[in-house]
Amino acid sequence: MRLSRYFLPVLKETPSEAQIVSHRLMLRAGMIKQQAAGIYSWLPLGFKVLRKIENIVHEEQARAGHIAIQMPILQPADLWRESGRYDDYGQEMLRMQDRHERDLLYTPTAEEMVTDIFRSHVSSYKDLPLTLYQIQWKFRDEIRPRFGVMRGREFYMKDGYNFDLTKEDALHAYNRHLVSYLRTYERMGLQAIPMRADSGPIGGDDTHEFLVLAETGESEVFYDSEITELKFGDRDIDYDDKAQCQAVLEEFTSRYARTDETHDEARFAEVPEERRRVARGIEVGQIFYFGTKYSEPMGATVQGPDGKPVPVHMGSHGIGVSRLLGAIIEASHDDNGIIWPEGVTPFHCGIVNLKQGDAEADAACDGLHDAIAALGLEPLYDDRNERAGGKFATMDLIGLPWRITVGPRGLKNGVVELTSRRTGESEELPPEEAVAKLARIYAPHCPNLAVPG
């Protein structure tokens, strides 16, 4: 992609309505445009990152054996009346009527609808376990939407629902989701800590939120600093192995880590003083086990091994896909702009031509662009007739992890400059070696990458 042909409406000034770093940088980098309070259009750069995050979520859900579906955004109110939540949910639910005066609602979550799907098509315990999920736009009418995509009214979310015969099976599904979420967040360059949390309007006794530590987090959190030393890494997990998944749960939840809603001062005091931490956190996901809360009132039963009907045990599991963009930026930025982790960057490398119109520099940039694209990576070539300082500022603002700078002086010596956005360190390399190094850097993040031999 050439920047002269791309739609990237960057702003030089910070909009006055932006209160936190991620909101300011997303507006300045031309990623989003506000259309109404808490409602945004996603412009090309933001949309590319949104899709990168969505793809990682899909890949890790598939790895865990979960099955994607797509449910409608509008739901019949009668389903929520069956579960008893329609009147209890509160003013965050956007309610409406169609022309026939049938009550509808704009989806804030979908436990009732997925339970209706299940009860319509599954009747035997032999069809269990089953986990269905979707990634879909949702709406909650926040009283004070703020902080950009971090607390919008319309948001993009992965919501999954497990159906199991017994509580033991459902708790294995809970553990399986915890494992898959740890993998998901680490692939995005985040450390998301599972913390004991409150279930809110979803219900249930077992629930963990995944929080990314950040000064602008909406939740106060209390934790043992040892938990920040844990990494999931490249472990090979058998998601059908209950003991293996349980061991991961115990490893990542045995140390004290709670939100302010479930904080226990007495238990926190048992943590060695030098390891006690109080901070702010951004919620990026949550997992719930709630048993038969929905299956019993809605008649979601299966025929058990003894031939008798049994209400299924359920849980729900969410990841804030659009919110994750804000969380990643809050966790990874500097004074000059965003610093995207390699796993979610919109473009893998920026190419800056210091002398646009110079035949040798133009040809070198074209060659680099084509060589990087041939690997299966996406470069962004700044081919504008713009001063060098402006090009560097744009690249720093939009946060591409790597930049190749091409100029006549370097080309005379047969080299280009490869710069890390995160460290600011640069090295001069022949163009083909710069491309080969990019291939090695991105190999862990791009399974289909054509790495040169």
Range with lowest mean pLDDT among 37-51, 197-211, 262-276, 322-336: 197-211
pLDDT of residue 202: 47
Final residue before a domain boundary, out of 293, 315, 337 = 337
Is 133 among the domain residues? yes
Final residue before a domain boundary, out of 303, 318, 337 = 337
Is the pLDDT reported for residue 290 higher than 50? yes
d(CA 279, CA 227): 13
- pLDDT, the chain, mean: 94
Q: What angle do CA 79, 80, 84 make, to 5 degrees?
A: 125
Question: How do residues 19-62 score in pLDDT, each as one tens digit?
Answer: 899 999 999 999 999 999 999 999 999 999 999 999 999 999 99
pLDDT of residue 197: 79
Is 450 among the domain residues? no
Query: Considering the entire predicted model, what is its pTM?
Result: 0.94
Do 228 and 158 belong together in one domain?
A: yes
For 293-303, b where at least 16 C-beta lie within 10 A, e where not — what string? Answer: bbbebbebbbe
Do 351 and 333 belong together in one domain?
A: no
Quote the strand ranges of 295-439, DSSP E. Answer: 301-303, 309-311, 313-320, 333-334, 337-338, 349-353, 379-382, 402-406, 416-420, 426-429
pLDDT of residue 205: 57
Do 251 and 376 belong together in one domain?
A: no
Number of Cβ within 10 Å of residue 59's Cβ equals 15
Average pLDDT over residues 151-166: 95
Q: Which backbone phi and psi does 251 adopt, to 5 degrees?
A: -60, -40
Do 237 and 102 belong together in one domain?
A: yes
For residue 75, CA distances in Å to 46, 72, 102 come to 28, 7, 11
405 contact partners, CB below 8 Å, separation of at least 6: 352, 354, 416, 417, 419, 426
263 contact partners, CB below 8 Å, separation of at least 6: 220, 222
Average pLDDT over residues 419-424: 97
Question: How do residues 51-94 score in pLDDT, each as one tens digit?
Answer: 999 999 999 999 999 999 999 999 999 999 999 999 888 889 99
Nearest to 338 by CA among 419, 287, 393: 393
Is the pLDDT reported for residue 453 higher than 80? no
For 354-378, b where at least 16 C-beta lie within 10 A, e where not — what string? Answer: bbbebeebeebbeebbebbeebebe
pLDDT of residue 199: 56
Is 328 among the domain residues? yes
Structural domain of residue 246, as residue ranges? 3-337
13 contact partners, CB below 8 Å, separation of at least 6: none
What total number of domains does the chain contain? 2
Confidence tier at 14 by pLDDT (50, 70, 90): confident
Do 220 and 313 belong together in one domain?
A: yes
Is 342 among the domain residues? no
pLDDT of residue 161: 97
Do 265 and 371 belong together in one domain?
A: no
Do 421 and 353 belong together in one domain?
A: yes
Do 165 and 110 belong together in one domain?
A: yes
d(CA 170, CA 366): 54
Average pLDDT over residues 322-334: 95
Do 268 and 375 belong together in one domain?
A: no
pLDDT of residue 142: 87
Is 453 among the domain residues? no
Is 331 among the domain residues? yes
Number of Cβ within 10 Å of residue 114's Cβ equals 24
pLDDT of residue 452: 65
Do 416 and 325 belong together in one domain?
A: no
Do 222 and 296 belong together in one domain?
A: yes
Is the pLDDT reported for residue 203 higher than 50? no
Is the pLDDT reported for residue 185 higher than 80? yes
d(CA 43, CA 346): 12
Confidence tier at 217 by pLDDT (50, 70, 90): confident
Whichever domain contains 178, its CATH number is: 3.30.930.10
How many Å is the Cα radius of gyration of the chain? 24
Number of Cβ within 10 Å of residue 86's Cβ equals 17
- Helix ranges (DSSP H) in 188-338: 242-253, 265-269, 295-298, 321-331
pLDDT of residue 218: 83
Structure tokens of 202? 């979803």
Confidence tier at 341 by pLDDT (50, 70, 90): very high
Average pLDDT over residues 113-122: 97
Tell me if residue 429 falls in helix, strand or coil.
strand
Percent of the chain with pLDDT over 90: 88
Whichever domain contains 375, its CATH number is: 3.40.50.800
Confidence tier at 17 by pLDDT (50, 70, 90): confident
Do 197 and 270 belong together in one domain?
A: yes
Is the pLDDT reported for residue 361 higher than 70? yes
Is 29 among the domain residues? yes
pLDDT of residue 143: 84
Final residue before a domain boundary, out of 305, 337, 369 = 337
Is 449 among the domain residues? no
